[in-house]
Amino acid sequence: MERVARLVVLVSGSGTNLQALLDEIAATGTGAYGAEIVAVGADREGIEGLARAERAGVPTFVRKVKDFATREEWDAALAGAVAAYEPDLVVSAGFMKIVGKEFLARFGGRFINTHPALLPSFPGAHGVRDALAYGAKVTGCTVHFVDDGVDTGPIIAQGVVEVRDEDYEDEGAALHERIKEVERRLLVDVVGRLARHGYRIEGRKVVIQ
């Protein structure tokens, strides 16, 4: 029997990407998907992302920045909490905190994030808005490994979304929703393929076996 990869998912809000992973694993089975979610962590309490995990019977933990004297202490505590579940992959599913050196020392090359633009274009917190401001005709989403830069890690996969004229009328809200739909499907596909087939990182290139 093939080994099932262990996932720890980190959330900060509603957890729709987490739900997409939970739904896919429930529908296909951990063996067929190749992974199981062994814990969900957050940087705040009382969020829907944690509630989704609890409804699915997945253990949860919270590490709040304000509970620690320094950002470095928080980062070490988060890394320790994640490491306790011995994950093969860590998935940022809308986790709105930047991790530090200790976390990346433990999970570099195994920490997956999504971004609502086609990197390396439009990194940072306003990828959708910045693409519209630039007049881009297509944008989309990127699934990538996290490194110590801002959205600069090796790209695993990308999905393209067309920019429509009406997207300028609501400051990109409808565009962002279309990107999120593609992002959820892409993340589910990528995590499953990494788990089932394994991968290696060659410089900036991610090769799924």
Question: Strand, coil or helix: what is 167?
Answer: helix
Residue 149 placed within a domain: yes
Domain hosting 179: range is: 5-197
The token pair that represents 87 in the structure block: 């994950």
Could you report the per-residue pLDDT of 127-185, keeping only the tens digit for each? Answer: 999 999 999 999 999 999 999 999 999 999 999 999 999 999 998 999 999 999 999 99
| pLDDT for the residue 24 | 98
Active site residue 115: yes
* Domains identified in the chain, total number: 1
Could you report the per-residue pLDDT of 62-104, keeping only the tens digit for each? Answer: 999 999 999 999 999 999 999 999 999 999 999 999 999 999 9
What does R_g of the chain's alpha carbons equal in angstroms? 17
Nearest to 58 by CA among 8, 17, 14: 8
Is residue 27's pLDDT more than 80? Answer: yes
| pLDDT for the residue 76 | 98
Residue 177 placed within a domain: yes
Question: Strand, coil or helix: what is 111?
Answer: strand
Q: How far apart are CA 114 and CA 92, in angstroms?
A: 7
- Listing DSSP states for 3-72 in one string gives PPEEEEEEESS--HHHHHHHHHHHHH-HHHH-EEEEEEEESSSS-HHHHHHHHTT--EEE--GGGSSSHH
Is residue 1's pLDDT more than 60? Answer: no
Count Cβ atoms within 10 A of the Cβ of residue 111 and give its class: 0-12 exposed, 13-18 middle, 19 or more buried. Answer: buried
Lowest-pLDDT range, 1-10, 57-66, 102-111?
1-10
Residue 207 placed within a domain: no
Dihedral over alpha carbons 83, 89, 92, 97 (to 10 degrees):
40
Q: Which residue ranges make up the annotated binding site for (6R)-10-formyltetrahydrofolate?
A: 71, 96-99, 113
Active-site hit among 115, 144, 176, 197: 115
pTM (two decimals): 0.96
Bridge partners of 138, per DSSP, are 162
Residue 203 placed within a domain: no
| pLDDT for the residue 3 | 83
What CATH number is given to the structural domain containing 114? 3.40.50.170
| pLDDT for the residue 148 | 94
Is residue 61's pLDDT more than 60? Answer: yes
Q: Which residue ranges make up the annotated binding site?
A: 15-17, 71, 96-99, 113
